Chains A and B, each alone.
Chain A
Amino acid sequence: MSDYNFAYLDEQTKRMIRRAILKGIAIPGYQVPFASREMPMPYGWGTGGVQVTAACLTPEDTLKVIDQGADDTTNAVSIRKFFEKTAEIAVTEKTGDATVIQTRHRIPEEPLGEGQILVYQVPIPEPLRFLEPRETETRKMHALEEYGLMHVKLYEDIARHGHIATSYAYPVKVEGRYVMDPSPIPKFDNPKMEMAAIQLFGAGREQRIYAVPPYTKVVSLDFEDHPFDPSKADHPCDLCGAEHTYLDEVIIDDAGGRMFVCSDTDYCAGRQAKGHRGRLSPTEEAAQ
């Protein structure tokens, strides 16, 4: 027997986290306080998400971990290895094969289904924090549905820039009640949050867990004369030709040459494997 418990956390801690997750599911978008534990990794590495994942994993699960859409960053690899070691679960880079996906900053392009759980790593769970630093006050604002200041902030964007400049962590209203921070995903991903999978959010340093059940209404805040725009770059992916995905800009040479590629590496590789090609794809002969 190993010297740590299944999925690292002790059973009492898991029970406490599990209770918080269930209350989160029962009250979509509401931030449930929980007693975050020290994890063997720094806070910036998503200890909130790691604790939620640890509380959810069963021995039969297959885990995928992504960071900005990629499975192979240091952060993603470390978390995946951590759970391979402590929970002895299967891991994958294929979105469709995963039962639990822990993510930082992206929602996979491939639609998620029933039987899947998406766990977000959250740095700042409170969408009202930049308007009001005091926890006691933001809690009151949520209790009274006092979200006017939030709209004022977004409207100031419009006054200054002609459009809403917020492009990450764009606030949403869940099931017509709580305003929620979707974590620093691009607003391009916001419309995907109405999905068939369970979405769980963990903030380690701030000790909050919240959730969006499947098929729950998630509406990005906007105005009648300035409706929400998920904004998509006007290029296709240079590797797979996709015109419907979120792209990363990559510098490819010293002369400042650039290419645009899907940030979701598994999705892009899947399309290339099916024969889709982009502007900078290797030619058929070179690929063989």
Chain B
Amino acid sequence: MDMQSLSGGFATPPQDSSRAFRAALETLARPGTIHDISGAKAPAPVSEAAATLILTLCDPETPLYLAGAHDTPDIRDWVAFHIGAPLVGPEQAMFALGAWEALSPITVFPIGTPEYPDRSTTLIVEMDTLNQDGMRLSGPGIKDSAMLALPDLAPFQMNAGLFPLGLDFYFTAGTRLAGLPRTTNVSDLMEAN
């Protein structure tokens, strides 16, 4: 375990995590909005937003799947030291972290059960940038419509079709965070026109 794995936690955990949670709550409750979230630093290629989010929400009770380039010895050590979440495959994951290509196909993640739709995976998708353009969003949390650039279209439409089951998503880039719950309907502006 190198020094990087021991550093990068919150300076003042209760206060930092409270602010990070509010960003996570606001972005999931208002799809299409983008909030800053910061305070934790994990080894590359984990963004500060993703590191802060998993440090805020994950612990030994939340099995975590590290996908693709996010599954490195350094990152595993960082998770072990700061979070203690058991590392698992996608089928057991309560949270999953990685780039979209590494997380796909997302059909492998648990979507909950009819009696417990909350027992589903939350995917944290690392992006190069977050932009309020591209796909058109509508549904709970959105007054009329909102825009968000998503890495794909059909998987999000299929996921929304599973409601009340389904996956929930966060998108992270640098210190920026966006959310997409299963309730959001996603359409392609180009197709609609």
Contact = CB atoms under 8 A, between A and B. Distances in A.
B62 A19 contact: yes
Contacts of A58: 15, 18-19, 22
Given A11-B14, A25-B25, A139-B115, A215 B143 contact: yes
B115 A15 contact: no
Contacts of A215: 140-143
A30 B117 contact: yes
A216 B140 contact: yes
B74 interface: no
Nearest to A18: B21
B118 A23 contact: yes
B18 A19 contact: no
Nearest to B163: A177
A59 B15 CA distance: 7
B122 interface: yes
A273 interface: no
Interface residues of B, number: 38
Q: Select the residue from A14, A27, A56, A140 with max chain B CB neighbours within 10 A.
A: A27
A269 B116 CA distance: 45
Contacts of A180: none
Contacts of A33: 118
B62 A56 contact: no
A33 B163 CA distance: 19
Nearest to B144: A215
Contacts of A177: 163-164
A22 B124 CA distance: 14
Contacts of B28: 22, 25-26
A32 interface: yes
B59 interface: yes
A16 B61 contact: yes
B140 A6 contact: no
A74 interface: no
Interface string A56-71: 1111100000000000
Contacts of A18: 21, 24-25, 56-57
Nearest to A28: B140
A198 interface: yes
A56 B22 contact: yes
A143 interface: yes
Contacts of B13: 11
Interface string B116-130: 111010100000000
Contacts of A175: 140, 183
B22 A27 contact: no
A177 B117 CA distance: 13
Nearest to A139: B115
A142 B112 CA distance: 14
A61 to B, nearest CB: 9
A214 interface: yes
Q: Select the residue from B13, B21, B113, B182 with max chain A CB neighbours within 10 A.
A: B21
Contacts of A55: 21
Interface string B131-147: 00000000011110000
Contacts of B19: 58-60
A55 B56 CA distance: 11
A11 B10 CA distance: 12
B10 to A, nearest CB: 10
B114 interface: yes
Given A139-B115, A175-B183, A56 B21 contact: yes
Q: Select the residue from B14, B58, B142 with max chain A CB neighbours within 10 A.
A: B14
A7 B14 contact: yes
B125 to A, nearest CB: 15
A228 interface: no
B17 A14 contact: yes
Given A58-B18, A213-B140, A216-B141, A198 B61 contact: no
Interface of B: 13-15, 17-19, 21-22, 24-26, 28-30, 56-59, 61-62, 113-118, 120, 122, 140-143, 163-164, 168, 181-183
Q: Top 7 nearest A-B pairs by Cβ distance?
A: A6-B14, A143-B114, A26-B181, A23-B118, A213-B141, A216-B140, A213-B140
